[in-house]
Amino acid sequence: QQQVKQSPQSLIVQKGGISIINCAYENTAFDYFPWYQQFPGKGPALLIAIRPDVSEKKEGRFTISFNKSAKQFSLHIMDSQPGDSATYFCAASIRSGSTLGRLYFGRGTQLTVWP
Amino acid sequence: EPEVTQTPSHQVTQMGQEVILRCVPISNHLYFYWYRQILGQKVEFLVSFYNNEISEKSEIFDDQFSVERPDGSNFTLKIRSTKLEDSAMYFCASMYVRERFYGYTFGSGTRLTVV
């Protein structure tokens, strides 16, 4: 069972444009939703995260929008730059019990920003 | 900024051989994880470790896998008899929990190639 579904698989955006990546989850017990950025040969690096009691969180050019009723969340990258070209993973987690900290990852989105 | 350190960065091994992947988590972190990422695919959870014992393991983490924290600082993943399908990037992660905040950090990974 795929707990977290991510789309699109790949995304090409022009410099200065808006990149939007979407995720949907199944398990209503998830209470932590991070986004990770991964460059080739590196580990995933936390970009931004949100809890379900908040509908939006913004950090610089990166914004998470969260829709609890639809069980969906998305990452918006404003003013996309070539340096943003990377693979982006959404994830979900439950912050209690025996599964504490286990991250369920989406399949990833390969973002390419053209200069 | 504190880092999770993984060694080696790349290991090539023959099928059937034992490998040990090493990780040095961030010093004040209490929760430890191993994930793997087969080339081009999503990051998959293997095992979580807390208070010197396994908290949770996935279906991937069969009897060929084991984890250990031998000296209070290193955290190791052992694969007893490697198979071709074990070829992947293996990521260690560590985490602390403070109130409602996670500090979850991944290492840069070990690329395991089984030939």
B51 or B115, higher pLDDT: B115
Which residues does residue B57 pair with via DSSP β-bridges, in sequence order?
Answer: B47
How do residues A7-52 score in pLDDT, each as one tens digit? 999 999 999 999 999 999 999 999 889 999 999 888 899 999 998 8
Q: Are the C-beta atoms of A5 and A105 separated by less than 8 Å?
A: no
DSSP A3-40: SEEEE-SEEEEETTS-EEEEEEE--TT--BEEEEEE-T
Cross-chain residue pair B91–A106, CB shorter than 8 Å: no
A101 at the B interface (CB within 8 A)? yes
- Alpha carbon of residue A4 to chain centroid: 10
Q: Give the chain B residue nearest A109 (alpha carbons).
A: B42
Alpha-carbon span B48 to A107, nearest angstrom: 21
How do residues B65-112 score in pLDDT, each as one tens digit? 999 998 878 999 999 999 999 999 999 999 877 665 567 889 999 999
Instruction: State the sign of the Cα–Cα–Cα–Cα dihedral A40, A43, A47, A48.
Output: positive
How do residues A65-103 score in pLDDT, each as one tens digit? 999 999 999 999 999 999 999 999 999 988 776 667 789
Grouping H, G, I as helix, E, B as strand and the rest as coil, residue A103 is coil
